Each structure stands twice: as C-alpha cells, then as structure tokens.
Structure 1
C-alpha cells in the first residue's frame, strides 16, 4: 500500500507542478485573475518546481525499505499534505476558498492520513 500511496502522490504532485508551470491561469481559475500580472504568473511557475521535485522523490522512494530514509520521506509528506489540508479546511470553513477546495480537501486529507498511518506503521 505504501508503494501505491507514493505512486499516487507522485503523479498528483507532478500534475500540479506541471499545471503551475505550463497553464497557471487555467489551473488557478477562480483564484487567479484572468489579467494576472506577469509577476504573479512567474511566482506560480516558480512553485511548480518544488512540486515536481517532491513528485520525483516520492516516485524514486517507492521501493525503499520501510526504515531509515523512507521514514523521513513519510514525515515530509505528512507535514506537506497536512499543512495544505489544514489550509483547505480553513478556506472551506470560512468560505474564502474556491469551490474546488472541497475536492482538494478530500485529496489532501486522504494523503495526509495515509502518510500518517504508514509513519505509525514504520515506527513498529
């Protein structure tokens, strides 16, 4: 199951990273104005790089034994997805987020829970 979770999170993060790089206005619809400044577009594209880096890290970690460095990767993913899920919860609860935040909340919360479960299992 951990291999599947790392694979799915890798694909998800790669899609987000590529969308930020190549179609930031379309990806940010409802959050990014159609007449966004070139500086905002550049910032969105900049954020695509780390998403792709984490996607590659997760992809390459799929066969790593359930000890040592994999534990660190699980912690990093749990923190990353957890912070994003908390942001989604805030946005949905306050009404400040766009409609798609409800869908993303489920995705981010699911990944957070999966990584926390695997982290707990890796400690045994």
Structure 2
C-alpha cells in the first residue's frame, strides 16, 4: 500500500461564442474564416502548458442563430469539465481541431470564462 497524494480538482464550464462566417443549424457546425471550424462533439482539452492533458470534455452546442440571407450567424458552444487538477499555475484550452485559446488561471477558469471567436482569430472576454 502506498500513500500517494491526489491533487484537488474542480469543475468548470467554458463557453466559446462569436459571429461565424458560416453557421449551419442542422449540423451544429460553425466556421470562422482563418480562425476555427467547430462542430458538436469535438474534444476540448485543458492542459497545464506542457501538452499533457489535465481534463477533457465534448463541445456542446448552446445556440446557433443563422442569418438566412448570407449563411453567417452567431454560434455559442460550451464544454463542461468535471475534474480539473487545481494545482497548476496556468491552463490552456484546446479544441479538437487545434484551436488554442489564451492561457488562464484557476480563478478565471472557475469563473466560467467565455471566449469570443472572430475571423481573424480567438479573443478572450475574460
């Protein structure tokens, strides 16, 4: 029998939203030119900046409001993480298609950060 410390964990929800160049309500797919291509089920991972995943969760559609005149729309996704190791200095969020978000602290993550995607790249609304 060994005595191994188990790090404390916490749960968090991260929201990714923005005005997409293409929004498809039927498939839940949204595309930001030059920035991201998101669909429900993509795996969202949190790492401690060392490429080692500390937690992962599937991306879920919260809402897609498509503009029928041009195919663009506003898309909102979320990912709920049940157990994130609380002993890291900073965290990085990665979406299944390698969209990297800015780093954030434990407190920012616990507050449920929202990231706004734009065609030129991701921007944090922390």
TM-score normalised according to structure 2 size: 0.25
More relative contact order, 1 or 2 (CA 8 Å, 6+ apart): 2
Give the number of the structure whose residues are more often strand, by fraction: 2
TM-score normalised according to structure 1 size: 0.26
Give the number of the structure whose residues are more often helix, by fraction: 1
